[in-house]
């Protein structure tokens, strides 16, 4: 059985030691909000399927190889010879501010379609369908794919989660709201940061999870509201922290944890993510979670 199906664009990611205009070295890896969540869930022991489109190029091979190595099912992913895999560039501008530059216009990932989603469902109905507000901004076919995933998930009895994940370089907040708000009628779990909640508007989603960054997270359900503090760790890179939180929260949902415990698992997974450079490299295995209970500076022998 598939625990989670997620869909979206995963790109080649270059991480530079300084501004790109000055040249120098850069590390090549991969990045994408939905695949970050997929990797996080897979490391926690869940069966995860990712569907998306990569180009018939070396970067696409890197994306597929990385996801396979992390235990993510990519049987429903598609390779197209008609477009290139997108790229994302990360450059540090201060000690704690990173600028993100995209090269993804007309990319392979933007050609995601309803056929891709149906193929993923044909391989097995997931317990949870997870989508983000990034994918609908990529193209009309990508928006249709997200709509199809939500609809098929509802029909099949899957829980549907949506992380707003607003990207100002893809569209305006007004444009995002016009697209995302109609989708919420089919969503069971809405996830957003404080500044993204206005995009969702006056929603009626049963479960609303709000990420507060260093201040933790809260959740509101028909049974009440709960909060969880963030874990205090030495921060190396906040990129991907929100996706890490989502992976932990959905893991708790799959394991039948109560709302407060779901939050705690989310903040725990996010703590590991921010303590290591990269979008997903620091994501923990399930056996790692108890390490946060140790005193600072402890060594596990």
SS3 per-residue string spanning 148-195: HHHHHHHHHCCEEEEECCCCCCCCCHHHHHHHHHHHHHHCCEEEEEHH
Helix, strand, coil % over all residues of the chain, rounded to 5: 40, 25, 35
188 labelled catalytic: no
Angle separating helix axes 241-254 and 33-43, nearest 10 degrees: 50
Give the C-alpha separation, 149 to 142, whole Å. 11
Q: Among 54, 37, 64, which residue's Cα sits nearest to residue 131?
A: 37
Which of 3, 116, 243, 279 does the annotation list as catalytic? 243
217-221 and 207-211: which strand pairing?
A: antiparallel
Residue 126: C-alpha distances to residues 68, 122, 207 (Å) = 18, 10, 19
Catalytic residues: 243
């Amino acid at each position: 059985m598939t625990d989670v199906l997620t869909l979206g664009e995963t790109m080649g990611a270059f991480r530079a030691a300084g501004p790109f205009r000055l040249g120098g070295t850069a590390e090549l890896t991969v990045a994408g909000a939905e695949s970050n969540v997929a990797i996080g869930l897979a490391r926690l022991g869940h069966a995860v399927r990712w569907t998306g489109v990569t180009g018939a190029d070396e970067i696409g091979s890197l994306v597929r190889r990385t996801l396979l190595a992390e235990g993510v099912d990519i049987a429903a992913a598609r390779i197209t010879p008609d477009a290139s895999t997108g790229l994302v560039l990360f450059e540090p501008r201060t000690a704690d501010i990173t600028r993100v530059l995209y090269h993804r216009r007309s990319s392979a990932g933007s050609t995601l379609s309803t056929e891709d989603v149906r193929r993923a469902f044909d391989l097995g109905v997931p317990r949870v369908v997870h989508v983000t507000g990034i994918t609908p901004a990529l193209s009309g076919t990508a928006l249709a794919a997200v709509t199809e995933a939500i609809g098929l998930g509802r029909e099949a009895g899957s829980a549907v989660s949506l992380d707003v994940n607003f990207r100002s370089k893809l569209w305006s907040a007004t444009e995002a709201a016009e697209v995302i708000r109609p989708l919420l009628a089919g969503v069971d779990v809405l996830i957003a940061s404080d500044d993204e909640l206005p995009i969702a508007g006056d929603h009626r989603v049963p479960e609303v999870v709000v990420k507060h960054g260093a201040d933790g997270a809260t959740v509101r359900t028909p049974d009440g509201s709960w909060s969880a503090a963030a874990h205090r760790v030495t921060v190396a890179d906040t990129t991907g922290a929100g996706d890490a939180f989502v992976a932990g929260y959905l893991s708790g949902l799959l394991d039948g944890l109560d709302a407060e415990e779901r939050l705690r698992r989310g903040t725990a997974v996010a703590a590991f993510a921010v303590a290591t450079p990269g979008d997903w490299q620091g994501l923990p295995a399930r056996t790692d979670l108890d390490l946060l209970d140790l005193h600072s500076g402890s060594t596990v022998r």
